[in-house]
């Protein structure tokens, strides 16, 4: 596996936390064997570890990813473009969170209750709003990918999750490890890691 593949897997672990091989491979856009080879190499180097079937970064791995990511941004001269796209992402982020809440909880007559998905018209309206958000997010991710091509993987993953939800697999909006919400969260983490913004600072916005 190439060094670029290893760096991709290292950064994926930074963004998704501890995860099994299949999730790492999917997020990195690699085959299972290629992702596993990278993970083993990272473990040998002391940058990754495997516990109870899940892979994660060591402290040294987290530091190494920060160094590699900073070099990547500096070498490409893309800090300004990434920062501008991040600001646009943060405009969309509260809307995404509201949509996830609307999908999971319904408020009727002032009473909130879990959405049991028995009202097809309500679910269709929420899905339409997700699709509208996704169209606007696509423009942001296109700009991110123009700066750093690895961001293009999020367009694929978000589109897949939304497509599966619209096909009837409801958990792929907000209730699975491959859901739209989960991938969106990972994109957010990626932006914070790439720009060197602490999570607490982002949460304070």
Between CA 146 and CA 13, with CA 1 as vertex, the angle to 5 degrees is 65
49 has pLDDT over 50: yes
> What do you get for the CA distance between the two ends of the chain, in Å?
40
| Arithmetic mean of pLDDT, 68-73 | 96
**DSSP E strand boundaries for the chain:** 48-51, 54-57, 105-108, 111-114
d(CA 190, CA 109): 39
Q: How confident is the model at residue 3 (pLDDT cuts 50, 70, 90)?
A: low
What pLDDT score does 4 carry?
82
d(CA 182, CA 27): 11
Is the pTM above the cut of 0.85? yes
pLDDT one-digit tens code per residue, 12-23: 999 999 999 999
204 has pLDDT over 70: no
Q: From residue 24, how far is each of 15, 48, 55, 70 by CA, in Å?
A: 10, 12, 8, 22
Quickly tell me which residue has 């700066």 as its tokens: 147
1 has pLDDT over 50: no
Question: Are the C-beta atoms of 1 and 34 separated by less than 8 Å?
Answer: yes
pLDDT one-digit tens code per residue, 180-199: 999 999 999 999 999 999 86
Quickly tell me which residue has 């700009």 as its tokens: 143
CB atoms within 10 A of CB 151: 21
């Amino acid at each position: 596996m190439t060094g670029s593949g290893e760096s991709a897997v290292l950064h994926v672990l930074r963004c998704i936390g501890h995860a099994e091989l299949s999730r790492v491979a999917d997020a990195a856009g690699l085959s299972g064997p290629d992702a596993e080879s990278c993970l083993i190499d990272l473990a040998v180097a002391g940058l990754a570890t495997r516990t109870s079937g899940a892979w994660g970064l060591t402290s040294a791995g987290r530091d190494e990813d920060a160094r590699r990511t900073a070099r990547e941004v500096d070498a490409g001269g893309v800090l300004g473009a990434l920062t501008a796209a991040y600001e646009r992402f943060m405009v969309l982020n509260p809307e995404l969170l509201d949509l996830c809440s609307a999908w999971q909880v319904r408020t009727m007559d002032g009473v909130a209750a879990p959405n049991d998905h028995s009202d097809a018209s309500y679910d269709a309206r929420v899905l339409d709003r997700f699709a509208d958000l996704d169209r606007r997010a696509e423009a942001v991710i296109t700009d991110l990918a123009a700066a750093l091509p690895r961001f293009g993987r999020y367009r694929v993953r978000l589109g897949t999750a939304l497509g599966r939800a619209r096909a009837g697999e409801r958990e792929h909006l907000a209730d699975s490890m491959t859901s739209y919400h989960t991938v969106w969260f990972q994109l957010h983490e990626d932006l914070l890691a790439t720009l060197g913004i602490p999570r607490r600072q982002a949460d304070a916005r």
